[in-house]
Every structure is written in structure tokens, then in C-alpha cells.
Structure 1
Amino acid sequence: MKKLIFILASLCVGLVIGYLVAGAASDQGTASLTESKEDEPLYWVAPMDANFKRDKPGLSPMGMELVPVYADNLAEKEMPGTVRIRSEVVHNLGVKTQAVLFSPLQEQIKAVGYIGFNQDKMMDVHSRISGWVKFVAVGSPGEYVEEGTLLYRVYSPELVNAQEEFIAALKSNNRFLLQASQSKLQSLGVAQRFINELKQAKKIYQDVPVYTPQSGYVGELNLRKGMFINPSIKLMNIGSLDQVWVIAEVFERQAHLINQGDLVEMSLDYLPAKAWSGQVDYIYPVLDKNTRTLQVRIRFDNPDLLLKPDMFASVTILSRPTEPVLSVPSSSVIVTGTQERVVVSLGEGRYKSVEVKAGGRFVDRTVIFEGLYPDDRVVTSAQFLLDSESSLSSDFSRMTPSSMEPIESVWVMAEIQNIDPQKRTLTLAHKAIREWEQPAMTMEVPLAEELDMSPFREGDSIQVLLKGGNMGNLKLIDFVVPRPKAPNSPVGGAL
């Protein structure tokens, strides 16, 4: 009896142990299966269309490979509108990015110019008497005439009478009468060489010569043999081409960018390989009401006489550099009917459409007032594809990540109120510093040891680079003069 009880007890113990071992193995298998399932993708989605989902790999309607989506991806907290793309897809799409720059910008203003005579050296030729032209030495406009050479001959009863008075005075030996008659001839435009000839010949000439008053090229010519002339008729004008004027026409919207002294580059269609350099000499105060353009005058030396009046010229005016501003490539800005935005690269294949407040355009860059930070990178190629996906769910706001490291140095506009050479400090009234969440204020700032204090003047407005948001470690380490006197002069201190 005892033996039977022992056998039954042994069987029960074995069953219990077997059950426990089987249960443990079952739990281990279940855990392994669960872990395996967690490593598998939940589904596959099109890179450019989040609504196109499949339960296995394949191609999207655009012919791109579907991207796997894991449970970890869904658990991550992304900003609204964030698009995540694998590195090989980024390469296939040709996505390119550029950094947001904080620097001065300079505009290149393209304009059409018209070459003309230097009006400072232009002379209109009028007759001082009435008479008839007997001979003209100039055949056509454009001829070069030397000062003192014969220009034309004229018959005038007034000149004949003046000659008679002069010869009578010569014969009378009356010094006062001779002086008065000679002054009369001079006032009528008779050259001194002809008066000397009258003294020698003592006879009256019917045709009186008129000589060229200055050297130059004949512009207009209104003089013909046999015509009747009087002081109200402009016979011709004579101008020099050693230096010419170029009148450029600038659009009304660009008028505020032009300053006297701005550098200018000019080229001509008939000499495309040659360029001329000059400066804005004068800005006309009145806008042309028909063309809505502002005229700008530029002087160019013309020793080889390659610049000829009435030629067209292509003019490029380099405006003065602006203060340092945030800017992006103009190609990265997406303009819609209601907003302007860019696609920002968030790193690790993540992109997001962000609304920005854009300013003026300088050559190939656009000023950005709001929406971006100096260290951001924006997409310059394939941004429309990324924007079409991101804009479906994006809030278009640029949030500062909590993990972003504090900015150690920052540029800001400031006015120098006081200079202390002994302490090597400047009292600056600076604008608000957004990066440090610091309002506009006036404070004393020490200078870095390598900076020279001599360029600083009280009352000057300069762009300064401050280092250390902590007031105890604050220091001025660099500066830039935002508006130099001439565009080609050096700006700033250590830059």
C-alpha cells in the first residue's frame, strides 16, 4: 500500500515540474515572438504622399521605393509638418541645402545708359551781329575743330560801319577815339588778329572772319552758306570728348538704393570685352513722369575716344553695403498667394516648411526678417516637393528646440555713447538681442585685448559682435562699420 502511494506522489510531482518548464518555455517563445514583431515595419508609405500606405514593400505612384514605418517612428514626437526621408532618397531627389547667412548685402542695379557730351565743356556758338554767311569752314556735324581756326565768314553792315570808325580813328591819331572804336569791334565779336590786320592794311573788309572759340567736336550744326544770321540763332555747339557723361535710368523702386559716389561698371555692345569703371556723379532730383525712372549721371574718362555720344551702354551700379542681416538664397523662398515660406533642414533627414517674413532682394539673396535663425539650413533644390508634403500638416512656425545650445556670440547694432580708454570699455546703446532674449539697453562693455580703440568715435553707429550672454563674461570681440564713406573702402575693425 505504501509503495502505491509513493508511485502516485512521484507522478504528481513530475506533472507539476513539466507544466512549469513548459510554461517557462512558452513565455520565452512568446517574448521572442513579440520582440520579433516589434522589429518589423508596421506598414510602408510613399516618400512624397503620407496617405499612400501599403502592407509590403513596393513603389509609389511616382516610381519611388516605399519607406518603412516602425512603431518607434510613430512614438517619436515630431513638430507638425515634419517630413522624414532616408539618405538614399535625399540623394535621388537631389535635395541641396545652404546655410542662412548673417552678413552685409550689396545690390547690383542694372540700368541702360546713354552716352553724351560733357556739358561742363559744351559751348553754343552764336553771332553777336546780324548778317549773311559768305563762307563756312565746317562741312558737317562731328568734325573736329581746333581753337583759333577759321569757322565762317560773315558780311554785316554793322561790322562795315565799325571798321570805318576804327580806320578814321587811326588816321586822326586820337588815342581816346581809337580805344573806343577798337572796343566796339571787340564787343561785336571781331577777333584781335583781325583788328591787328586792320591796323596794318587800313582798309575795310566786306567779309569778316569768325574763329573757333574752343577745340572740340561739332555737335549740332545750323550754319549754311548764304543764310541770314542774328544773335537769336544758335549756329552750332562744340564739345570735348576727353570726358563724357553717361545718363543712366534707374527704376523708381530702386531709387532709394542709389547714393552719390557709388561704384559703376559699364560695358558696350560693340566692345563686349572691355569695361569702364566710374562713380555716380550726380542724382537728378526729378523723376521722369513718362518712364517712371530716375536719371543718374556718371562721368567716364575717354582718352581713346571709344565712347561716342548717343551710344547705348549697359550700366551696373553697386549700391553701398547694408547693415548685416539674415539672408537666404532667393531660390529657396516659396511664394504663395498668402505667405512666403522656406523648407528648413532639421537634420537626420527631417524637413519642415516654415513661414518667413522676407524683405528686399539683393542679387541672388533675399533678406529674412522673421522665421529663421543664423544657424539654420534651408533647402535650395527640390524644396517644392518637400513643401508639398510638409504643408499638408505643417503649422509653418519655427520653434526653437529645447536642446538648442545657447548662442555664445551675436551681432547687434549699437551707438557709442562714451569711450573710456583707461578701462578699455565702450558705453553702448544697443538694440534688442533676440538670441539672448535681452531687450534694448545701454551698458558698459569691455573690449577684447586684440582690438584697437582708435577707430571708435562717440556718436557713431556700428555693428558689434558681443560674446557671452552672461553679463559677467560679456566682451566686445569685433565690429563692422555698416556704411563706409565709399563702397570700396575697408570696413570694420578685425574683419
Structure 2
Amino acid sequence: MKKIKEIMRKKQITYTLFALGGIFIGWLLFSRPTSSTHLPEQTMTHDHEGHSHDLEQDESGVWTCSMHPQIRMDKPGKCPICAMDLIPLKKNSGENTSVDPSAIQLSDEAAALADVQTTRISREKPVKKVRLYGKITPDERSLQSQTAYVGGRIEKLFIEFTGEEVHSGQTLATIYSPELFTAQQELLQAISMNQPQLIQAAREKLRLWNMTNAQIDAVQQSGKASPTVEIKANTSGIVTAKRVNRGDYVSQGSVLFDIANLSRVWAMFDAFEVDLPFLSKGDVVEFTLPAFPGKKFSGKISFIDPIINATTRTARVRVDVTNNRQELKPEMYATAEVDAPLKGYKDMIVVPQTAILWTGKRSIVYVRQPNTSTPTFMLREVELGPALGGAYVVIKGLSDGEEVVTNGVFSIDASAQLEGKTSMMNSSDDNAHPMTGHEGHHMSGMNMNTENKIADTASKHAMFSVNGSCDMCKERIEKAAISVVGVQSAHWDKEKKMVHLQFNPNKTSEDAISKAIAKAGHDTDKYKADDSVYNQLPGCCKYRDKE
């Protein structure tokens, strides 16, 4: 026993025994039977015809980049393009084996969180609602200028202020005129000489100076010449301008008053050039005024200006309105809506505006797939026709009875981008060859075409303040932003005075978009619109405080 203890004290022997014991225990635990005859019957399905059913490769082992979905890696790491951390690719549930591989599937919980809503579309008779803004103006055909037919001094003035109502034949002023006095003496002298021809010539001369036959007869009967003459109103209406005061000297033809008959007025509206094809002479227009809430006025379009304003890109549309009660006053603001049936687009598919995503030349919608256990959506490119206010005519791409997503479209598209499928930011060609892990580690070998495609799919969101006051401002601001190359979408919030942009930073910048909006007449937080452009805006669009 003493010898055995001495041997065990030696460290080399102790270590050797422990190693042998570990090897034996590992052999017992991890050894596999060499013969299949000892396996239970249920394990026999592991190998069948050269492939495995129980050990299929899990898609969760694929890693991608949230900003560049074309990246595919077999392990976590950094994106070779932007160096962001890769995220695991979402694994499909596998419940719907017949679903198109490019379709987007959302769980019921995800669809509820994204507030996804769909609308069943149908064929209908499209009617475009054209919204117009303008103001009331006097009928130019009723404007009269009251002039002095003889030169002289204003002796009396019976109209004291602008806005006073006058009637035809009413005395407006009395003029002291030496020339008229001389002409009356010539008439009296011709009468005393009993020369009919001279009498007729003298009377005609006085009539040319706007003396009435009654006034001439009064001079002839009294035998006295008067150095003053009364100026009579030649129309009824409202004095819109008073140009003289008592004691002023006027020459023949000088304008004393401007008079407008307001029994008929014009409603002058500004129509954008894109809306002009849907407006025609004779169309009935209903409009409202802030001064009379809830009350509607109507008239017919009598004239459309053939020339477009180069600054506002609008044309003037004139509506004749009867104003017997004198309710409509010049310079009142008016808002009109015209329901214009679209000729040539009868029985066409109409889709809500909220369902459409614009990506430059492409317009896409998401269509819900029928007969699927989970919400499944398919991207569809469509060709759009005229805008109908809150909807668009679809010329090609949709069928009657399909369900399109009208709310939560961006959430579905974001899911498509993360899964590397066709989306608003990349076409099917861009997704044909997703980048593998081996290719990702050799980005230096990427060709120029691939780099251009990645640059084209870049997108950036920005927002800044833009001043405006009405829906016409909203259209002008958004059109100015969209006109900049590289801007993918623009939305101006009228309440918060903020514009939200989605643009390609490789093609434009926030500064360039801000300049374009200011050039259209709207101040931004970086640039102020030129005064000459601002002053050309319609009255309802004026947002600057009056000094």
C-alpha cells in the first residue's frame, strides 16, 4: 500500500489517469451506433433519397442590411456599403405555400399595428373636382368715367366721397366756364338777328358740350347766358373713384368720377394650367364666400384667359354673377368647386390617392391577395390618368373588384425593402441578383452599373418650415418641390407650415429644394421669396403680415 500511495503522489501519473477517464466518459456519451438496425423506427426518416426533411436550412441564418436590402450574408457583421450592423432576414411563416415569392406577408398583429386598410375598387364615371380661388370684381362693361365736356373751375361738388350711390341724370358738379358763357351769348345774338342757321349752329355747339335740350331751351327763353354748367350722371351705380375737389380747374375731357354699376359683377378665379382642359365656357360654377358661411352662389363661365401668367402658372377664369341685392362686393374672396366629367374616360378604374406611391417615373400600388390565411400583398405598377382631387384614374394595371391598400402603404413597402423584394425604391431587376456574403466582402470588384443602381435607390427624409396660407399654396409648394430632379415625394402641412420631403441625396439637396420653393413665392426657413414674385400671388395666398 505504501508503494501505491507513493506512485499516486507523482503528478504525471495523476494527470494521465484523469485524461484517460475523460476520454472514456466522452466515448460513452457521444458515440453513435454504427448500425441502423438499432435505431428507433421514427429516426429512419432522417435520410431519404439523398436529402433531409428535418434538417432544412433555416432562412433565419441569412443576414441583411436595413438600408441596402440587396446585401445577403450568412453570418452577422457590418454592411459592406454603409457599415451598419446587419440584421437577420425575417423568416416566412410557410403557411401559404402557393403565395408568390415576391409577395409581402404580414402577421395579423403587424397589419393591425401598421393600421393597414384596403378598399375594393370598381369602374365608375370619373368626375374631376376642380378647386378654384379668386375674388369678386366689378363688371368692366358697367364701368363709366364721368368727364368734363368743357374746361373751367369746379364751382360746386355734390358728390363728397367714394362709395356714394348715384342715379342716372343726377347732378354731380357745377363748373364755371368762360367758354360756355361765350357760346351761350352767341346763341342769344343769333336769336336777336333772327338767323335760323346761326341759331341751329349755336345750339349744336352747346349740345357738343353736353348741355341738354332743356338747358339750351331755358337759356333761349330767359335770354340770359349763365357762366356755369351742371355735370349730370350718365349711369347709375357706385362712385369707385373721386378725382376732383371743389375749386379745382379742369380741362375738357378730364375725368371727374369713376362709376360702377354693381347689379352684375364678375367672380375672377385663378385656374392652374393642369386644370384648364377640364374647364369650358358655359360650365356652371358654384362658389362660397367667407362673408356668407354656408351660402352658395352660382354663375356660368363666360371667359377663360388664353394667356398663362408666367409667374403663378395660372389663367384667369371669369364667372358672370347677378347681384341685384348688392351682397357681393368687389375684392371679396371666393372659393369655387367645379364638377367636370372627364370626356373619354367613361367606365374607368378609379383608385384613392392615398393608395399610390410615386417614385419618379413609376407609380405603384399594393394589392391584397385573395384566399390567403395571413394578410398578403403584391406590388403592382400602374399607369395613371387624370387626377380627380382625392383620387386618380387608372388607365392600366388594375382590374375591377381588386382590393388595394389605402392606408399603411409605406409600412408594407418598408417591409418589402427589408426583405430585399421589389419595392418603390428598387425594381425587380435590382433584386434579381442579391449580393451574397462572398460578394459582400469583395466590394472593390463591384462594377459601375451596380454602383449606379445602389445610388439610384438612395433616399433621405427631410422637413423644414414653409410659409403659406391656403390649399392653392399647398399645390404650388408641392409642385415646386417635385419639379426638382431627385425629389421623390413632397407633402406640405398647412396647419404646421412644414414640408416633408423624400429625395435622393445623390441628385439634389435640402438647400436646392428650399431655393426652388422660395423661387415659387413662398418663404422658407432658409430663403425668402423675391418681393416681385410674392406680389404676383393671388390674394388668398398672401401670408406676410401687412406693415
Q: TM-score range by the shorter chain?
A: 0.5 to 0.7
Partner of 1:358: 384
One-letter code of the match for 1:218? V
Q: What is residue 56 of structure 1 aligned with on the other side?
A: none
Q: Distance in 1 between matches of 2:124 and 2:261?
A: 44
Contact 2:278 2:342 in 1 (8 A): no
1:205 correspondence with 2:212: no
Instruction: Determine if contact 1:145/1:215 at 8 Å carries over to the other structure.
Output: yes
Which of 224, 234, 237 is matched with 1:216 structurally?
A: 237
Report 1:4-403 matches (<5 A).
Answer: 69-70=93-94, 73=96, 76-86=97-107, 90-91=111-112, 93-322=114-343, 323-324=345-346, 325-337=348-360, 339-347=362-370, 348=372, 349-391=375-417, 392-394=420-422
- Alignment partners' CA distance in 2, 1:388 and 1:285: 46
Kindly, what percent of the aligned residue pairs are identical?
24
Contact persistence 1:268–1:314 (CA under 8 A): yes
**Match for residue 504 of structure 2?**
none
Contact 2:287 2:335 in 1 (8 A): yes
Secondary structure at the residue paired with 1:69?
coil
Tell me what 1:485 maps to: none
SS, match of residue 319 in structure 1: strand
Equivalent AA in structure 1 for residue 261 of structure 2: S
Shift of 1:353: 1.4
Which amino acid in the other structure matches residue 249 of structure 2?
F
Is the 8 Å Cα contact of residues 263 and 319 (structure 1) preserved in structure 2? no
Q: CA RMSD in A?
A: 3.5
* Residue pair 1:83, 1:351 contacting (<8 A) in 2 also: yes
In structure 2, relative to structure 1, the CA distance for the partners of 1:241 and 1:340 (3 Å cut) is: same
Does the aligned pair in 2 maintain the 1:222–1:236 contact within 8 Å?
yes
Shift of 1:95: 2.2
Q: 1:68 to 1:108 in 2, by over 3 A?
A: closer
The answer (yes or no) to whether the contact 1:352–1:390 under 8 Å persists in 2 is no
Deviations 1:209-230 (A, max 9, x none): 1211111111121122122222
| Residues 43, 68 of structure 1: 8 Å contact kept | no
Distance in 1 (CA, whole Å) between partners of 2:309 and 2:106 is 54
**CA distance in 1 between partners of 2:206 and 2:253 (Å):** 20
Instruction: Say whether the 8 Å CA contact 1:262–1:320 is kept in structure 2.
Output: no
Code of the residue aligned with 2:93 in structure 1: it is: V
* Shift in alpha-carbon separation, 1:233–1:80, aligned structure 2, 3 A: farther
Contact 1:117 1:245 in 2 (8 A): yes
Q: Distance in 2 between matches of 1:313 and 1:363?
A: 19
Gaps of 5+ in 1: 1-22, 52-65, 398-495
SS at match of 1:244: strand
CA offsets 1:53-88 (integer angstroms, 9 cap, x no match): xxxxxxxxxxxxx99834x64xx3432421234556
Alpha-carbon distance, 1:143 to partner: 0.6
Q: Deviations over 1:439-459 (max 9, x none)?
A: xxxxxxxxxxxxxxxxxxxxx
SS of residue matched to 1:285: coil
Which deviations, in whole Å up to 9, do the C-alpha atoms of 1:28-52 show, x marking residues without a partner?
9989xx9xxx99x99898xxx999x
- The one-letter code sitting in structure 2 at the alignment partner of 1:275 is K
User: How far apart are 1:233 and its partner, in Å?
Assistant: 2.3
The structure where strand makes up a greater share of residues is: 1
Q: Supply the distance in 2 between the matched residues of 1:239 and 1:380 (Cα, whole angstroms).
A: 52
Q: Post-superposition shift, 1:303?
A: 2.0
Structure 2 stretches of 5 or more lacking a match?
A: 1-36, 61-65, 73-89, 429-547
1:100 to partner: Cα distance? 2.8
How far has the Cα of 1:363 moved from its partner?
0.9
